[in-house]
Chains A and B, each alone.
Chain A
Amino acid sequence: MYKKYTKTVCTPPGCVKKILLVMKITTIILFVAFMQVSAVGLAQKVTLVQKDATIRQIFKEINKQTGYNIFWSDSQINGDTKLSVDFKNTPLADVLNICLENSELTYSIEDKNVVIKQKEQSFLDNLKDKAAKVLAIPSDINGTVVDSTGNTLPGATIILKSTSFSTNTYTDDKGEFHFKNVTQGKYTLSVTYIGYGKQEKLIETTGKDITIKFVLYNSVSGLDQVQVIAYGTQSKRFSVGSVSTVTAEDIEKQPVDNLLLALQGQAPGLAITATSGIPGSQVLVQIRGQNTLGSAAGLRPYDQPLFIVDGVPFAAGNNNVNQFASLVAAQHTSASLTNTVGISPFGNIDPADIESITILKDADATAIYGTQGANGVILITTKKGKPGATAFDLNVNTSFNSAAHPVQLMNTQQYLQFRKDAFTADGITPTNNSGSFNSYAPDLTVFDQNKYTNWEQVMYGQNTNNTDVHASLSGGTATNTFLISTGYNRSSYNYPGNFADQRYTLHSNMHHSSNDARLTVDLITDFGYEQNNSAGFGGAQDVVLPPNLPDLLGPSGNLLWKYQGFDLTTDQFYSSLQQPTYLQNYNLNTSFNISYKLFAGLTIGANMGYNRNTTNENSQTPGASQNPASFNFNRQANFSTNTAQTLNIEPQINYKKTIGKGILTALVGATYKKATTNSTYLTGQGYSNDNFLGSIDNATSIAAIDGATLYRYNAGFARINYIYDNEFIVNLTGRRDASSKFGPTNQFGNFGSVGAGWIFSEQKFLKNSLPVLSFGKLTGSYGTSGTDNVADYLFQSLFQPIPYIPTFQGVASSAPVNLYNPNFSWPLKKSLNIALDLGFFNDRLLLNATFYRDRETNQLVNIPEPVQTGFNSVLGNLPATVQNQGFEFSVSSTNIKVRNFSWRTNFNLSFNRNKLIAFPNLASSTYASTYVIGQSTSTIYGYQYKDVNPTTGLFEFYKANGTVTYNPNFQLASAGGDKVAIANRDIKYMGGFGNTFTYKQFSLFIFCQFSSQNAPNYLFQAYNSSGLLGFMYNQPTAVLGNYWKTPGDVSQLQRLASSYSSPFIASAGTSAISQVFKFAASSGVYSDDTYLRVKTVSLAYQLPNALLNKVHIKAASVFVNGQNLLTFTNYKVGDPEQPGTYSSFPVQRVVAFGLNLKF
């Protein structure tokens, strides 16, 4: 250090400097000697973090913490002047300097007293100043910009303005700025820096040089808050891409176990779908609509974005982590989506560890991800330590859960009458003869006619409670910060049985920067252990068992298999509930980031990330759960291990330079990614004892299969951003990709985007004529991206062993895996995005309106094939082009902000319209019956339902030509049939709005989410499942009084059918069963599904500090958070979020009571 010091100072002309140095040192020594007494006093430290503290409060606090008395008067200084302060062990002198900044005041310390007084000028100084003023000598303005912790802020924009003049500069590497030779006059000096509130000072130059220190505080206005983007951060103010951010503040109010659920309704263009209310279950995510075509007839695919956690790609395709079926997989609503359901990969991340979630939507934001960004990108950033005193934060809550929107099913009386009506309609007399399948009706002839069990109540009528604990320890200095947090969550199932999803997490973050701030190192490690204990198939679908079904459990809880000769085996759902499925998921996500500043403006560094996600499963079929008389009695156990690993290395060079009136930032980097999965699956059979089922060793027969995939990917990317004069922004990105998923000739791809923005509110005429407009920005972007989210190795014709049929006569068997198509490549998505941002009243009201148009062509899908080709699909490209076009609006407003009360509102609304705009040779493709050019790809084609024929009591339909028929043709109307567009599964509009109220120590947050679409109604299930209306299954009470009974009845639903033997009705030339299948494909099973759900209500009370200080607690709050409390909907039977079913596990209403303590 010594060497360095002398070196810096000893630059020629050496001697002059040396003399000056000696003088300086002498002065310092003298000064230190004089100040020694007070220096002791000044060693006192003050800690105070408060927004808008008054001078009065600060002085009081100083007195309390240091014991020093402060003498001052209101005539000198306005005691109500507000300052936002962030003192953490700050020396008293600095505290006082900050308080008295910008005033003509100084202070002196005598004994234990601080006296505030007018600055005195020496006579000479006074004279010199006056002379300078008279002679109009120009002054230099020098300054530094630091943040609230004292770190310098290089690259901040400084604007010096007078009524006739404006210039700007940027802070240098040391956070300093200089304006030389400023002519005398009054100026406004303003400082802006991304993520910090703008600061302005009025100054007057009088010939004397001015030195100013700006302390910037984290921005309160949403416009200047830092948001995470691809490979960096930016502020909304200068962003040209379409980016939404959800912050920890929004997440932590929601008592959800899956962080994805906390995003519902929070960001425009982002659709979140819970597959069920089961703890740990899968949550689907989609950004700006469906880009790709379907791969199976009648089912909708669901594009999901790329997820990145702390820079590491996570959960490719948002695939479920389980291999085994369990209650989680069984009790979902598919809503005809092709997506796999099961245990969510995000169940192993504690929402409390999340700092922010960024949703990247347009090409400007996503093109830098090349072949991976076409469906949007979600960046998840975990919490980091903040400098300051070590803080301990504890959050504990318990929540109570129940079904949010239960369906009313028939009671025994209603049910028996319903069944009798069905037999009457069929003209069949119910019998107790099990050999006569068409008349056998044990529910009417064998079971107790007065017994009533509400199976829905049995399945999920119970209330459960969840526990969530989260504790974190954080702190550090400006150069080293740390955060360690741990969480525990236990969410129980409503099912009869001890089923729960439990999560243990350990999160840590370390940050170091060298003293000269050139080297920074960040290490983030997340470990999660999730344990999901449930059972095999069975449960919720059995809510439709006859309400007078005999008891399934004996007095000692034993399983019953027979009731008066009636075999209960197929209805014995307790059997599957006694077949446990244990799942353990281990998630390790670690990210290491290093950067080194080579010279001013140029930084080199690298992100290195590794994710390992391992799932172990064991499912058991104990003897105790099986009918002991069965010839197939077989104790069985399955074991699986599934490990997915991703290694991601991304070296980067960042460059930042002030060029003229603008700032250029450039990024160039490369990605190397390797992802592997390995899975094994063992089935053991023939165990002799239930207690052995946790081990494969005791099986007498073992079958094993395994799987492995390998994916390699590499890319180079660059981004150049130029912000000119705080007014014009240009952003260019490019990426060249290489992926091993494509055949040798198609591995490389180039993607890019161009974005531009104009902050028109910087225009002088606007500033003058429209003073309420504080911000206005017009942005546009256009670019390309792609996707390679397909299975590996499919460009070859592959053979593999047939699962579970290991050998044929001792020879290992092998079968083809796929149809051979070596030529597929990535699809190309072209995105256009235009947005207008407006800020009013000093950015208290911020509005955004966005128009976008995405077109994905060269569609890469599993193209459905007729099975005569050997398979149901082939991976390949289609020349089809799918367009998603829409508008997004968001508003954020601080409606009221007064002394004790504030009210803030956030609102967002999005409309997306999907359309197939081109598909050459559609008519001769396998999609001929699925899509129509010009229509949405989510359009459902089916029969136009008319009503029930009053004479025959059967469903009738319209043919394409408008005539009425029992028997419409199944082809599309365009192909000469009768199928027309009957519904569109796209979300028509969706959004959310939140209001936050604070009054003194209380805060209240109410968030509502809404959505509107066409969706299958409850009849979709009633007429699609194995138990059709009238069969031996319970149904919602909604059908009562609505079905046809006798000729002349005008009714909504046709005559009941008692079984598949329901007779042919000659007069109509069809049967009730036959009509059911047509009805199930008609407009009759689709309804409008619009709902508004009071998603979150959070009420918190901050305990008074005075009370807490006595027990050494810094802050404490108690809160009540409610989720899914109320629903307003036009959707009749069932939950509008789970359309088309009334027997899946319902979305939960959660009320959580909690306590938060900060030490």
Chain B
Amino acid sequence: MKKIFSNTNKITTCLLLAAVSLASCKKLITIPANPPTAITQQEQFADSTTTIQAVAGVYAYNAGNGFAYSDGMVTTTTGLSSDELSYAQTNDTQQFYNYTLTPFTANIGTLWTNAYQSIYQTNAVLSGVTNNSGLSTGFQKQIIGEMEVVRSLYYFNLVNLYGDVPLVTSTDYNTTAYIPRTPVATVYHQIIADLGDARKKLTAAYPSAGRARPNLYAATALLAKVNLYQGNWQNAYNEADSVIRLGGYILVQTGLTKVFLDGSTEAIWQLPITQSYSGVADAQRFVPSYTGATPNYQVIAPLLTAFETGDQRLQSWIGSTVISGKTIYYPYKYKNTSPSTTPTEDQMVFRLAEMYLIRAEAAAQLNNLTQALTDVNTIRARAGLAASTANPTSQTAVLNAVMHERQVELFCEWGNRWFDLKRTGAAAAVLGTAKTGFTANAALYPLPQAQIQLDNLLTQNPGY
């Protein structure tokens, strides 16, 4: 037995040695640095030509299926939650209207998820560009500035939808996976810092054709809005004022139907369509798919009745269809469901009219009521309406006039109405009258359940 095993050992050793020498040949498992369909981060940011592709990716997502906000979802969900829209389909999107949202509601997850995926993209570009010796300083400044504006826009929407949200400025999952919600004030602090930096880095010139990528004034416009929401009236006034006076933008005067077209003179930032076979997301969502089809999203009475007689916005921006003898209204700011239809529409992010209304509100808050009414009347005149009848000496009346104008000018755009109702404290009164079921807790959407389960430092909003 002993002999047999010592023999066996010898043979074992020989065979194993042979096996090991046959294997572990590094050459045989060498593969090219990257698969044909992808490149590494280093290659992606090797020079300005490839870097710009990653930047294009950030915007393409904006306008495509990744970014919920311009995909119309911020507009539709907040439109349902406020007093703008109702929903005709039987699915859980109705919960936005009824204030019966749960942490499981599908679009609650989408609104959250798509924002953070896009924030990651901007963070990835920022880390790829910052201190990259392969890129010129000027190019670095340009891209960093743009990304700061984009990221700020996401966070601005996140805090207004959900309240406190995790603030993530890094691509390292080891540091971002397990963190609590960051207070709204801290997030705003970051936004203001980012936009301040962006303003230093960006110029008045748009970096590419049209107004597809943010310039200095897009950064300023967002800063104006952020300051307005924060109650920094003087800053809000100054920023909006600078866009109006220095930006060179002109309100579209000849026909409201041209406001949302590609090349609109009042556009501060508008995203082109990148998908090959569909129009702007808002048109896809709101315009019925064929004559006689029931619109999914229907304009409800509080908004319809808010339009004064003769308001051209009602004619130009609200569509209607007759179903079983009844007229049903739907948002119609964007009209083309196919990109092949001319003239081409772009998804508006910021436009000059909003800057007038921001300056008006800030002015009213600063008791500059004349300026406030002048701005309101500029917008009214464009809509074919006479000057506001608000008492020019009453701050409350002027503020109400501004808010009314915001309601009918900015309806179904980027959640303006829902956010306005909440930030001015009018939500309970307005929605309590117009609809049923609104509670103070409904002002903030629930965090998606799946996310809380993955990061249990995240807490749920009250009431869910």
Contact = CB atoms under 8 A, between A and B. Distances in A.
Interface of A: 297-298, 432-435, 437, 562, 565, 567, 569, 627, 629-634, 651, 653, 655, 659-660, 662, 664, 666, 668-672, 685-686, 701, 703, 706-718, 720, 722, 724, 732, 734-740, 747-748, 792-793, 796-802, 804-809, 811-817, 819-821, 864-872, 874, 924-926, 928-930, 970-971, 975, 1026-1027, 1031-1032, 1059-1061, 1064, 1071, 1073-1074, 1077
Given A712-B30, A804-B276, A664 B287 contact: no
A629 B274 contact: no
B19 A669 contact: yes
Contacts of A569: 293
Interface in B335-392: 337-338
Given A630-B289, A737-B23, A798-B40, A701 B277 contact: yes
Given A631-B288, A718-B15, 5 more contacts: A433-B326, A629-B292, A659-B4, A798-B41, A1060-B91
A1077 B102 contact: yes
B275 A804 contact: yes
Contacts of B55: 811
Contacts of A732: 12
Nearest to B450: A297
B35 A709 contact: yes
9 tightest A-B CB contacts, nearest first: A870-B120, A716-B23, A716-B19, A670-B22, A1060-B94, A808-B56, A629-B290, A800-B38, A929-B453
B308 to A, nearest CB: 24
Contacts of B288: 631
Interface of B: 1, 3-4, 7-8, 11-12, 15-16, 18-26, 28-32, 34-41, 43-44, 50, 52-61, 63-66, 86-92, 94-95, 98, 100, 102-104, 112-113, 116-117, 119-121, 123-124, 166, 168, 171-173, 176-179, 208-210, 212, 272, 274-277, 287-294, 298, 323-324, 326, 328, 337-338, 437, 449-456, 458
A879 B52 CA distance: 40
A717 B64 CA distance: 51
A562 B323 CA distance: 12
21 contacts: A298-B450, A435-B294, A435-B328, A567-B294, A659-B8, A666-B15, A668-B19, A710-B35, A732-B12, A736-B20, A799-B38, A799-B44, A799-B54, A799-B57, A800-B39, A808-B60, A808-B212, A814-B50, A866-B458, A926-B177, A1060-B98
A813 B23 contact: no
Nearest to B296: A437
A866 B177 contact: yes
B100 A1073 contact: yes
A15 B323 CA distance: 118
Given A738-B29, A802-B61, A1032 B456 contact: no
A313 to B, nearest CB: 15
Contacts of A929: 452-454, 456
Contacts of A720: 8, 11-12, 15
B460 to A, nearest CB: 8
A808 B274 contact: yes
Contacts of A925: 178
Contact of A738 (B1, B7, B24, B104): B24
Contacts of B272: 808-809
B57 A1031 contact: no
A433 B323 CA distance: 9
A793 B34 contact: yes
Nearest to A737: B23
A809 B275 contact: no
A80 to B, nearest CB: 47
A435 B326 contact: yes
A341 to B, nearest CB: 21
A1018 B399 CA distance: 56
Contacts of B292: 562, 567, 629
B57 A814 contact: yes
Contacts of B294: 434-435, 567
Contacts of A808: 56-57, 59-60, 63, 212, 272, 274
B100 A1060 contact: yes
B117 A871 contact: yes
Contact of B88 (A434, A709, A865): A434
A866 B90 contact: no
Nearest to A437: B88
Contacts of A798: 34-35, 38-41
B325 to A, nearest CB: 9
A666 B275 CA distance: 62
A297 B454 contact: yes
B60 A805 contact: yes
A150 B455 CA distance: 71
B177 A1061 contact: no
A602 B124 CA distance: 59
A653 B14 CA distance: 12
Listed residue (B35, B168, B328) with the most chain A CB atoms within 10 angstroms of its CB = B35
Contacts of A796: 34, 40-41
B337 A632 contact: yes
Nearest to B336: A631
B323 A435 contact: yes
Contacts of B324: 432-434, 565
Nearest to B113: A867
A870 B57 CA distance: 14
B454 A864 contact: yes
Contacts of B23: 670-671, 714-717, 735-738
Contacts of B455: 866, 868, 926
A871 B90 CA distance: 30
Nearest to A667: B15
A579 to B, nearest CB: 17
Contacts of B50: 814
Contacts of B298: 435
A707 B37 CA distance: 6
A798 B128 CA distance: 12
A565 B66 CA distance: 35
Nearest to B33: A796
B100 A1074 contact: yes
A815 B226 CA distance: 28
Contacts of B177: 865-866, 868-869, 926
Contacts of B171: 816, 819-820, 870
Contacts of B87: 437
Contacts of B328: 435
B116 A712 contact: no
B290 to A, nearest CB: 4
Contact of B18 (A668, A672, A971): A668
A714 B31 CA distance: 13
B8 A865 contact: no
A932 to B, nearest CB: 14
Contacts of A867: 112-113, 116-117, 451
A714 B21 CA distance: 12
A813 B449 contact: no
A89 B195 CA distance: 94
B381 to A, nearest CB: 34
Nearest to B328: A435
A820 B31 contact: no
A565 B38 CA distance: 51
A191 B124 CA distance: 72
A798 B209 CA distance: 29
A850 B241 CA distance: 82
A1005 B337 CA distance: 63
A434 B86 CA distance: 12
Nearest to A750: B20
Contacts of A433: 324, 326
Listed residue (A569, A816, A817, A821) with the most chain B CB atoms within 10 angstroms of its CB = A816
A865 B31 contact: no
A1026 B22 CA distance: 58
B29 A713 contact: yes
Contact of B94 (A666, A685, A716, A1061): A1061
A699 to B, nearest CB: 10
Contacts of B172: 820
